[in-house]
Structure formats: structure tokens, C-alpha cells
């Protein structure tokens, strides 16, 4: 509270100078210290500072492009671990935005979102390994397909996952609230069990053994199997996802979703095609997950049903709730916070405590290893968020569209002086 008051008392030029310093200095530190975990955490925090900075959007966009397309790749070549972490962050950012369209924009509680993610991953994995040869004659095609097909499967994975969302939506979207959540949860479990058991009588998914090795993508004859390659692929897809989600939110479709979310009966009375808009939300959200599933399969070179369990859906839903339902920026923030906590912060803290125990400085039993209490820590964070920040870290902000403002007549503000009428 004291820091906020002091910041508000500071003059605007000083605020701007300090903001630009906090946005740029961590990147230089990260460049000079590519092995430092603290430098990496400060680099990630500088992206949030840049987002909150009151500066021209063009200047912020240029600096963000420099940080993501220049600084991070250069440092990532020297330390691929951090490059892999931020790639995982990007994958879950896209998944969180897709689920946010369903849960945040349209207000549909979906516990089975991971099913579309799994569908995209298996769709590419079956054809990018020799598995497809079990049920497709060799006269039609030779398997595995080359990595050049990856880009086409990226589009096919999004389209077919959207079609799967459409087929799911038709029978269940007349349900609401907890009933819809239970049905979508059952759908996700059905998909996982199908992938786990479709190894007989015809071996399509190889059952619990999974599929490997999956062909990496290729472009102009170059095999893209390095961490830096997947970083750029994920980064481009995430940027496209953000643009699409923001454009949808600002469109008539986004306002229709908001009307359904706030009061479905009133929206229907005002002429909003409720069923059609719900189906559209399901289709678009599922498409994002399907496309990212294809990338996940190519990156991991191995998929099996255990990667797409119920807790995966819960984790993505936690990202949306933590960041702010209905907010694209909130979904990004929630995904970054959860993945960084899971893959970096808790892991590094556990290793640090282990080093102290090995050196005899502290006697820490293995039962209190922070990494073992990951789910409990996530639960506590969600509870605290619901109590003290129920709208999320970055809540949604909806403003009137520009065309609506232009059509409004000039009216006298209540604060303006008005002549007394006697």
C-alpha cells in the first residue's frame, strides 16, 4: 500500500523512466548472465512490466519483438533449458486462451478441454510414425509421413478438433453449469480411454505404450528439431492466437458471448442466437487446442494417454481463473505464472534446499520437498486469488466499440454547470 501511494506521488517523467528501465535492464542482465535463474525470472517479469507500462503501443510492441525474437533466442542458444521452459509457457498460453474463449467469453464451464489437445497430438502422431501403416494399405501411402506434412497437419488438426468440438456441442450445449461440466469431463475421459484401448483388434493408437518416434517438422529441406525451432513455431502460433482472440472479443461475436455469459435468457430475448454462438465458442476453442496438440506431439516426439489426464484440464482451467476469466491478457498471465511455478520456481527451490542439505547447512527431510506439494500450492494460490482477487490478476475490461461512440449524440455531462431553471 505504501509503495502504491509513493508511486502515485512520483512525477510522470520519473515513472516513465523507471518503467523503461525495469523493462530493459533485466534483458541486458539475462543476456550477460544466461545461466542465472534469477536473471531469467527478472526477464519474464520485465515482459509484465512492459505490458503495464503507460507508453505508446508501437514502442512497446517494438521492444517486445526485440525481447522475444532477438534476446531470448540468443540466450536460449547458450542455455536450452530456459528456451524449453518458455516454449512450454507458449504452448499453455495458447491452450489457456482457447479455454478462455469457452469459459471466459461465453461462460461455458468445460472440464474436458484436454480432449481436443489430445486429439490434435494423436492425429499427427499416428501419421508421423509408422503406426498408420497398420490400417492404411502401403499402396495408398508410405508411413511415416515426412516432416513437410507438419504444416498441413497443423491446419488439419485445428479443423478436425473444431469439428470434434462441434459434434460434442450439439447434444450437450443445452445443459448449463455443473451439468455441462460433468458431461465435458466424461467426454475427456472417453477420449483418453479410447486412445488407451485402440490397440486391438486393429492397432491404431498403440494403446498405453504410446507412439514414437514422431517425425519433426521440415521446412525447405531443413529438419526443425532443435529447441530454437520449436520456440519460433510456438511463438508465431501464440501471436496469431492472441490476435484472433482479441479481434473476436472486440467484435459482435464477442459481445454476443458476453451477453450469453451474463444472462442467457436475456440474450435470447434480445435476438442473440444462443446455440449458434455457444457452438462457435466450442469450435474456436477446440481448434486452438488441436493445433497446439500437433506442435506438442512434434516437439516431444512421443505421446501416450497419460499426458492427457483430468488434471491437465484442471491445470489449464486454473490458468484461466488465476489470470482472469474473459481476459486475454489474464489468460496469458495465468499460464505464465502456473508454468513458471511448476517448471522453474518450485524445481529450482527444491534443488537449492537439496544443496543446503548436502552441505550440512540445513537438515531438510525429503518429505517436505516443495516440488512434492505442487498441487497443494496451486490450491492455496487459487483460494487466495478467489478471496482477495476474485476477478483474477488481470481482469477483463470491456469498452464501448468505436463505431458506437461515434454515433452517440453530444450530451451534457452531469459534472458540467447547468443554468438554473425557474
Please write the tens of the pLDDT for every residue from 2-40: 555 555 666 677 778 888 888 889 889 998 888 888 899
Grid cell at residue 308: 492427457
Please write the tens of the pLDDT for every residue from 352-380: 777 777 777 777 776 777 777 777 888 88
Residue closest to 315 by CA, chosen among 10, 95, 3:
95
User: Looking at the predicted structure, is the pLDDT value of residue 398 above 90?
Assistant: no
Cβ(118)–Cβ(195) under 8 Å?
yes
User: Looking at the predicted structure, is the pLDDT value of residue 124 above 70?
Assistant: yes
Cα 285 off chain centre by: 11
Check residue 299 and give its pLDDT: 93
Grid cell at residue 59: 514502442
How far is the C-alpha of 69 from the C-alpha of 81, rounded, in Å? 17
User: CB under 8 Å to 304, separation ≥6 — which residues?
Assistant: 208, 209, 210, 211
User: CB under 8 Å to 149, separation ≥6 — which residues?
Assistant: 127, 128
User: CB under 8 Å to 47, separation ≥6 — which residues?
Assistant: 64, 67
Q: Lowest-pLDDT range, 194-203, 240-249, 312-321, 398-407? A: 398-407
Cβ(338)–Cβ(246) under 8 Å?
no
Please write the tens of the pLDDT for every residue from 384-395: 888 888 888 888
Percent of the chain with pLDDT over 70: 90
User: Looking at the predicted structure, is the pLDDT value of residue 217 above 70?
Assistant: yes
Residue closest to 133 by CA, chosen among 142, 124, 146, 125:
142
User: Looking at the predicted structure, is the pLDDT value of residue 419 above 50?
Assistant: no
SS3 90: helix
Please write the tens of the pLDDT for every residue from 49-82: 888 888 888 989 999 999 999 999 999 888 888 9
How far is the C-alpha of 323 from the C-alpha of 345, rounded, in Å? 18
Grid cell at residue 37: 535463474
Which DSSP string corresponds to 137-151? -TTT--SSPPGGGHH
How far is the C-alpha of 118 from the C-alpha of 307, rounded, in Å? 8
- Does residue 362 come out as left (phi exceeding 0), alpha (psi in the -120 to 50 range) or beta? beta
Please write the tens of the pLDDT for every residue from 127-156: 999 888 888 887 777 888 888 999 999 999
Please write the tens of the pLDDT for every residue from 74-111: 998 888 889 999 999 999 999 999 999 999 998 888 88
Place of cell 443445452: 174
Check residue 11 and give its pLDDT: 67
Please write the tens of the pLDDT for every residue from 156-180: 999 999 999 998 888 887 787 788 8
User: CB under 8 Å to 164, separation ≥6 — which residues?
Assistant: 115, 116, 119, 286, 290
How far is the C-alpha of 25 from the C-alpha of 100, rounded, in Å? 32
SS3 1: coil
The larger pLDDT score, comparing residue 83 to residue 409, is at: 83
How far is the C-alpha of 118 from the C-alpha of 341, rounded, in Å? 24
Eight-state DSSP code of residue 250:
T
- 115 confidence band (pLDDT: 50, 70, 90): very high
Please write the tens of the pLDDT for every residue from 279-320: 999 999 999 999 999 999 999 989 999 888 888 888 898 899
Place of cell 510522470: 12
Check residue 399 and give its pLDDT: 61
User: Looking at the predicted structure, is the pLDDT value of residue 410 above 60?
Assistant: no
- 415 confidence band (pLDDT: 50, 70, 90): very low
Amino acid at each position: 500500500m505504501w509503495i502504491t501511494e509513493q508511486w502515485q506521488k512520483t512525477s510522470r517523467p520519473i515513472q516513465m523512466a523507471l518503467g523503461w528501465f525495469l523493462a530493459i535492464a533485466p534483458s541486458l542482465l539475462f543476456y550477460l548472465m544466461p545461466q542465472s535463474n534469477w536473471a531469467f525470472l527478472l526477464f519474464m517479469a520485465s515482459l509484465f512490466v512492459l505490458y503495464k507500462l503507460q507508453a505508446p503501443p508501437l514502442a512497446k510492441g517494438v521492444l517486445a519483438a526485440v525481447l522475444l525474437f532477438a534476446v531470448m533466442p540468443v540466450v536460449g542458444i547458450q542455455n536450452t533449458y530456459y528456451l524449453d521452459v518458455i516454449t512450454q509457457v507458449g504452448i499453455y498460453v495458447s491452450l489457456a486462451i482457447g479455454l478462455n474463449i469457452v469459459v471466459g467469453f461465453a461462460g461455458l464451464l468445460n472440464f474436458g478441454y484436454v480432449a481436443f489437445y489430445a486429439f490434435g497430438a494423436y492425429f499427427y502422431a499416428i501419421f508421423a510414425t509408422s503406426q498408420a501403416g497398420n490400417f492404411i494399405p502401403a499402396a495408398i501411402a508410405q508411413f511415416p509421413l515426412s516432416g513437410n506434412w507438419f504444416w498441413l497437419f497443423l491446419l488439419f488438426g485445428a479443423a478436425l478438433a473444431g469439428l470434434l468440438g462441434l459434434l460434442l456441442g450439439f447434444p450437450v450445449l443445452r445443459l448449463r453449469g455443473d451439468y455441462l461440466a460433468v458431461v465435458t469431463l466424461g467426454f475427456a475421459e472417453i477420449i483418453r480411454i479410447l486412445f488407451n484401448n485402440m490397440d486391438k483388434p486393429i492397432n491404431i493408437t498403440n494403446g498405453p505404450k504410446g507412439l514414437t518416434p514422431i517425425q519433426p517438422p521440415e521446412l525447405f529441406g531443413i529438419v526443425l528439431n532443435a529447441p530454437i525451432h520449436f520456440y519460433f513455431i510456438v511463438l508465431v502460433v501464440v501471436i496469431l492466437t492472441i490476435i484472433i482472440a482479441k479481434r473476436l472479443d472486440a467484435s459482435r461475436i464477442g459481445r454476443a458471448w458476453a451477453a450469453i455469459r451474463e444472462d442467457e435468457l436475456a440474450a435470447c430475448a434480445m435476438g442473440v442466437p444462443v446455440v449458434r454462438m455457444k457452438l462457435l465458442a466450442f469450435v474456436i476453442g477446440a481448434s486452438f487446442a488441436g493445433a497446439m496438440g500437433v506442435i506438442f506431439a512434434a516437439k516431444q516426439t512421443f505421446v501416450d494417454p497419460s499426458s492427457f489426464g483430468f488434471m491437465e484440464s484442471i491445470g489449464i482451467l486454473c490458468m484461466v481463473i488465476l489470470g482472469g476469466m474473459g481476459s486475454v491478457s489474464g489468460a496469458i498471465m495465468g499460464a505464465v505464472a502456473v508454468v513458471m511455478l511448476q517448471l522453474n520456481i518450485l524445481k529450482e527451490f527444491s534443488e537449492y534446499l537439496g544443496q543446503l542439505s548436502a552441505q550440512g547447512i540445513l537438515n531438510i527431510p525429503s518429505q517436505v520437498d516443495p516440488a512434492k506439494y505442487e498441487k497443494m500450492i496451486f490450491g492455496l494460490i487459487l483460494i487466495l486469488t478467489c478471496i482477495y482477487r476474485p476477478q483474477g490478476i488481470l481482469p477483463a475490461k470491456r469498452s464501448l466499440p468505436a463505431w458506437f461512440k461515434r454515433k452517440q449524440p453530444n450530451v451534457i455531462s452531469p459534472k458540467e454547470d447547468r443554468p438554473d431553471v425557474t
